Structure 1
């Protein structure tokens, strides 16, 4: 037997090469193609590339941010091509400004970073009663968004540096007084407008179209009478909820969590205190510190003479906006909740006792301990449902990365079906029909509107080979893989099937043209001879701030019409599907002279807008300097 192998070694080697090389080439090229598609540059800034993967990730973050801030918004609008293009433009702008900030040696200081963080209302809401940031809640908030504090703060620093590039230009812009007066006059100008509208519906009944006209219109607009391209797909989604559903915490894990996070912490001693705070600014001079301390000693003497007045003095003298209105009360807290000097003083007091003056990073405190308690631990059985949910969530977070790797490998290695990945990870294989613009059916899964999914479906490789897509990363720790089951290309619909739609479209087009022609004829007649009063609607005073119900196109035309003396201007406006309008435009009454405060505010606002314009012009110059270009259509 072995002699046969030895004697025919060359033949066997050739056979193995014939079997191995084609499969290697096939799978290797497929893997390379997938990698190439994801790493394809969509823009460049200098020699630095922005890949499609970066673009997809940035747009996904932007969609999640906007969806969270506007719960009722239609996600289809956020995921459209215009929205994706805007995200790419922002990415390019960020790269340009980052390069400029680096060249200019612009950095954000720790103080500037802290001030910026506290401007965020979400982060500002995490402050404790003593004014310090609740670090644990801050880190939990960021962890839920997939970031560490270091990553988030590095991003904020980079953003501050980028903003500083154009901010200096905007802040230094000076708008000449004459330009400000001219711009204000134009912006607040009012004009008397008397409109006459010419609607397509008034002309539709007179439109006659022949069969030849219909056939010619159909042939000319053939691409507008096509069936939408569709694909039947199957897809699976891996998310933390799916991972958690397969996890059953053990009894030991539940009791360990209870002991460490419920029993021990709930039994820890808690104290309730009130304080009077006198603020001491960082870097205060010796004289300033002496003045504040003298005031604190005076208040301390008063509360020691009459401890019952502590709440009254806290309301009138404390400079802590969070607790002063409550008589200085800070509610219950345990160790680790307050800054160390404050905590040490509180836990050294007896109930009812008043401290000496305690200095912290916020200023000088006078503290009264009002109560002490050591709560009973919540029974394990009562806390069990809550503990089980939390332990399952934590275990799922830890296991998600492992399952995500398995998911990616399974959908790639067994690329002709999603069933093995679904079976191995306890997932459900869903089926749906999608078009290039989204799912078919109003009740479809919102995931089917994800641009990344639609791009994975409607590409030549997916439609032709009908293999699993690579794992697609979505927002909120979600992975998705999709496979095309059937593809129906877009086809031209037969003329007989769309004849009524063609007739309606052609009649509408000609009715619009007839309305516009009637408006032009009326304008020519009325500019030479004053029309009857009934031909025009009642004049209204229109400005750029008050359209008085006129369409935007009509307002723009009225405000840009050239007026000579007291003679009116006659303007024709194309209103698109709404037909046309003829406007008689006259000068309106002059604007009332603004008072000094309003005039100052107007000039400041105009100067701000002027500065923004100069900043945008500077940004345009920077894009040219750093050779920024967008490579996709």
Structure 2
């Protein structure tokens, strides 16, 4: 029987049976094994094998395609990093709910997809990062250095301090991948250059000035024609965003403030004396040393010969200062190159530890009174030191620090009482986070209510950025539970709960009808101003002088000879329009108009264009412009490379996973 089964299993019938059995298996295995996207991933970048560029994307050929995945964890980590970056950059203006928009999520995902496309392209191009190059790059990271050199201990501590801790092997893999994905675009960026013709053209444009005349036209009389219901309704429907009632919340909160707690009982004499004995080392006057020096300065970029000459000079001065009967002050006045102490005979006054650079301080505090030592090398040059006197540290008696100890004891007691009270309140709130009343009553504090208020109209404690951020956070609004303690300052915190929430919503037309009618009238007036200004521009283009046209419109002409590009004169909008206008033809000025934000119109006439002169720019600044232009071109080339990759590769995104 078994032999017959073995014989039958080797034929074409068995092949068909095995194929049929594999069909359901295809639908249950992780698609990533078959070249598809894994269940926990949000995006995939795929490319056909390099040796078969035209390979179809259907299975089983898709298994040959190369791919890079953006995992859900990777996306969430990057999204949180971007949240922290924006919160730090925007401060109080950061809106956590607005940040959660689909546009923001897609923007972060697009960055990750670009990175994966670069990794895939680098691997297909055979780009590798050697272990030696990886080690050298990591050794150059400032966070891992001490005194300018790589510190293995600091490296380990920095990785261990991450949340969660980052194993060195994983960090090295991350750095290796980052170097791989950046090698080609950074090479493209570094290969960019700017020709003399490009630099000259940029300089002529950037330094260009124009002779201009402008006239600010008065607004037409306000439109007194009635506004129909149809016009009102149409304007309201087209500008609903202008008539929104802002999102508001009402909160209840409990505040704990050490400044409002009862004053602690004064410490008795025994307590203060015990504190003094325990902290006796604090009340010791530091050792001080009365010193003088002679400085032979060495510039940071000095060559070895100059350094050697300075050292030999300092050695000679040290020998002279040690000679019997030598006048150190006279030598300092004659030879020291320290302008701050030279005229005082090198006198530095009383020096305490921590006030001088390390080599200077180590030498000075190892000397005996009357000793001369040197040369001592520092970043400033070579010093010859003289120690004139030593004042040893002495114990400050209890009576002189009693008041200080009493203040410190009172502050410590106040902080202890605050910590105990806030800790107890927090514990009680965590036991029943759906209300603050029982916890506040148990600790003898008051539950207060504030609101409703919007983000822009928050007052009192809600004006604090931390409170506002929590009050409008999605989790507190949806759950209705108490927040974690929010620190408002030293020994001051608050716990809050959102009790009412009204989302942003359109105000009804009847409520804002007067505003809508006013907006319609303002729009009519602005359009009438634009039509009138356009008619005047046609007269200018026909050859009439601006002075005549402006006078007829009741406006004055302001000449602006030599107007530079980019200057906010007369306004940024007008300056931009003036330099976007065509250069005037022979005997025919270039004319136009610009609408200001308040609806008024500005007429302008460009009478002459004066290109910048590249020859006037110093060589050093010209070279800087060349570098900047090359950097811009390089960045554009790198960006174009990424865009081209996105067109060559296939990108799949799971929107529902964002």
d(CA) in 2 for partners of 1:613, 1:242? 58
- How far has the Cα of 1:438 moved from its partner? 3.9
The answer for the alignment partner of 2:64 in structure 1 is none
Partner of 2:19: none
Match of 2:198 in 1: 179
Q: Do the aligned partners of residues 285 and 180 (structure 1) sit closer, same or farther apart at CA in structure 2, a change above 3 Å counting?
A: closer
Instruction: Using the TM superposition, give the Cα deviation of residue 520 of structure 1 relative to its aligned residue in structure 2, in angstroms.
Output: 1.5
Determine if contact 1:275/1:330 at 8 Å carries over to the other structure: yes
For the residue of structure 1 that corresponds to 2:75, the secondary structure is: strand
Q: Residue 214 and residue 342 in structure 1: after superposition, are their counterparts in 2 closer, same or farther (change >3 A)?
A: closer
Moved more, 315-324 or 84-93: 84-93
Decide which moves more: 81-90 or 388-397: 81-90
After superposition, the Cα gap between the structure-2 partners of 1:610 and 1:519, relative to the gap in structure 1 and judged at 3 Å, is: same
Larger Cα-atom Rg = 2
In the alignment, the residues of structure 2 paired with residue 190 and residue 504 of structure 1 have an alpha-carbon distance, to the nearest angstrom, of: 41
| Alignment match, 2:228 | 210
2:83 and 2:99 in contact (8 A); partners too: no
Name 1:525's counterpart in structure 2. Answer: 539
| Residue 578 of structure 2: aligned partner | 558
Deviations 1:81-127 (A, max 9, x none): 69999999999989999999x96736365797799999xxxxxxxxx
- Find the partner of 2:314 among 280, 285, 296: 296
Q: 1:393 to 1:59 in 2, by over 3 A?
A: farther
- Give the whole-Å Cα distance in 2 for the aligned partners of 1:402 and 1:481: 15
Shift of 1:185: 0.4
- The answer to whether the 8 A contact 1:231-1:434 is kept is yes
1:370 Cα deviation from its structure 2 partner: 2.6
Which is further off, 254-263 or 350-359? 254-263
Aligned residue pair count: 538
The 1:223/1:358 distance shift into structure 2, 3 A limit, reads closer
Instruction: Note the 1:3-14 alignment, pairs <5 A.
Output: none
Of 482, 501, 506, 1:468 maps to 482
Distance 1:271 1:609, change over 3 A: same
Q: Distance in 2 between matches of 1:395 and 1:622?
A: 64
Counterpart CA distance in 2 for 1:584 and 1:521 is 15
CA distance in 2, matches of 1:364, 1:97: 52
Partner of 1:588: helix, strand, or coil? strand
Where 1:369 maps in the other structure, the secondary structure is strand
| 1:509 maps onto 2:523 in alignment | yes
- Distance change (3 Å), C-alpha of 1:618 and 1:370: farther
Partner of 2:247: 229
Q: 1:95 & 1:393 partners in 2: Cα distance?
A: 55
Residue number among 584, 587, 591 corresponding to 2:605 in the alignment: 584
1:49 partnered with 2:75: yes
Q: Deviations over 1:215-259 (max 9, x none)?
A: 443354445334333211123567999999999999888656645
SS at match of 2:373: coil
CA distance in 2, matches of 1:224, 1:543: 37
Report 1:32-47 matches (<5 A).
Answer: 46-47=70-71
1:569 is aligned to 590
Q: What SS does structure 1 have at the residue aligned with 2:316?
A: helix
Which has the higher mean CA deviation after the structures are superposed, 256-265 or 79-88? Answer: 79-88
Q: Distance in 1 between matches of 2:258 and 2:339?
A: 41
Contact 2:294-2:335 at 8 Å conserved across structures: yes
Measure the CA separation in 1 of the matches of 2:274 and 2:187.
Answer: 56
1:486 and 2:500 equivalent? yes
Pairing 1:273–2:287 present: no
Measured in 2, the distance between the counterparts of 1:340 and 1:256 equals 37
| Structure-2 change in CA distance of 1:370 and 1:474 (3 Å) | same
Equivalent in 448, 464, 469 of residue 452 of structure 1: 469
Alignment of structure 1 residues 114-513 onto 2, 5 Å: 173-199=192-218, 201-205=219-223, 207-236=225-254, 258-259=276-277, 266-278=284-296, 291-304=309-322, 309-311=327-329, 313-314=331-332, 317-318=335-336, 327-334=345-352, 342=360, 345-347=363-365, 349-355=367-373, 357-358=375-376, 364-374=382-392, 377-380=395-398, 382-384=400-402, 386-387=404-405, 410-419=428-437, 431-433=449-451, 435-441=453-459, 445-448=462-465, 452-456=469-473, 459=474, 462-463=476-477, 465-470=479-484, 481-490=495-504, 492-513=506-527
Q: Secondary structure at the match of 1:417?
A: coil
Residues 411 and 498 (structure 1 numbering): CA distance in 2 closer, same or farther, change over 3 Å?
A: same
Q: Residue 357 and residue 572 in structure 1: after superposition, are their counterparts in 2 closer, same or farther (change >3 A)?
A: closer
Could you say what secondary structure the match of 1:303 adopts? Answer: helix
| Partners of 1:409 and 1:529 in 2: CA distance | 83
How far apart in 2 are the matches of 1:418 and 1:330? 62
User: What does 1:534-549 align with in structure 2 at a 5 Å threshold?
Assistant: 534-536=548-550, 537-541=557-561, 543-545=563-565, 547=567, 549=569
Deviations 1:16-70 (A, max 9, x none): xxxxxxxxxxxxxxxxxxxxxxxx999x995423446544544454467xxxxxx
- For 2:500, what is the secondary structure of its paired residue? strand
Tell me how far 1:560 sits from its aligned partner.
Answer: 1.6
Distance 1:116 1:324, change over 3 A: farther
2:629 matched residue in structure 1: 610
What is the Cα deviation at residue 188 of structure 1? 1.0
Determine the C-alpha separation between the residues in 1 that align with 2:294 and 2:260.
Answer: 51
1:190, CA displacement in angstroms?
1.2
| CA gap 1:508/1:344 in 2 versus in 1, 3 angstroms | closer
Deviations 1:556-614 (A, max 9, x none): 1111212253221122323343333332122234556754xx33244233224224424
Give the whole-Å Cα distance in 2 for the aligned partners of 1:337 and 1:486: 58
User: Residue 277 of structure 1: CA displacement?
Assistant: 4.0
Where 2:435 maps in the other structure, the secondary structure is coil
SS in 1 for 2:623: helix
User: What is the distance in 1 between the residues matched to 2:259 and 2:108?
Assistant: 33
2:137 aligns with 107
Let me know the Cα RMSD of the aligned residues. Answer: 5.8
